[in-house]
């Protein structure tokens, strides 16, 4: 009986964290939508730390773009990788583009970028498909990249 009660308490705690992550994410998303990034940031961090994959992805994007926080490629990568690992495929596009461009100091890694962009493009993301095309043809920012790095 004691084990049953412990299991119920653990389940209740997990459910409360899940609910809080959803509420924090929804509040953060509202602020983000109004471009009130400084207000969105602490709520987004809370939701991401509670395991919300959408919050992880958007938090990574906020670090990548300097929204409410100084650009930080390391933090952006950390949260975008966490979102991808949590099964939020939409983060693949942003992470792939970060690896492709080196935005916010993310180390340029074209093979990683290509793999992530291919995942996103296969799911219908047209921006990822376009970036893959640019990488292949050596267009735009990829003009100087050697052919070996584009593949």
Q: First and final CA of the chain: distance in angstroms?
A: 59
Q: What is the mean pLDDT of residues 7-31?
A: 86
**Cα–Cα distances in Å, from 59 out to 37, 99, 107, 136?**
10, 17, 19, 30
Of the chain, the percentage scoring pLDDT greater than 90 comes to 80
pLDDT in tens, 31-72: 999 999 999 999 999 999 999 999 999 999 999 999 999 999
Predicted local confidence at residue 6, as pLDDT: 73
Is it the case that residue 150 has pLDDT exceeding 50?
no
Is it the case that residue 128 has pLDDT exceeding 90?
yes
Predicted local confidence at residue 61, as pLDDT: 98
Q: For residue 143, what pLDDT band results from cuts at 50, 70 and 90? A: confident
**Cα–Cα distances in Å, from 28 out to 17, 19, 63, 69?**
16, 14, 14, 14
Of the chain, the percentage scoring pLDDT greater than 70 comes to 91
Two structure tokens written together for 22 = 């959803």
């Amino acid at each position: 009986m004691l084990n049953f009660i412990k299991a119920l308490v653990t389940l209740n705690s997990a459910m409360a964290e899940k609910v809080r992550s959803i509420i924090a994410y929804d509040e953060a998303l509202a602020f983000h939508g109004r471009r009130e990034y400084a207000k969105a940031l602490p709520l987004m961090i809370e939701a991401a730390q509670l395991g919300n994959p959408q919050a992880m992805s958007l938090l990574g994007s906020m670090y990548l773009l300097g929204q409410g926080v100084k650009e930080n490629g390391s933090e952006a990568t950390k949260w975008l990788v966490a979102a991808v690992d949590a099964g939020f495929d939409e983060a693949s596009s942003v992470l792939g583009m970060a690896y492709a461009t080196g935005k916010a100091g993310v180390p340029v890694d074209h093979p990683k970028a290509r793999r992530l962009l291919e995942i996103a493009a296969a799911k219908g993301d047209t921006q990822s498909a376009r970036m893959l095309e640019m990488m292949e043809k050596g267009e735009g920012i990829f003009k100087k990249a050697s052919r070996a790095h584009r593949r």
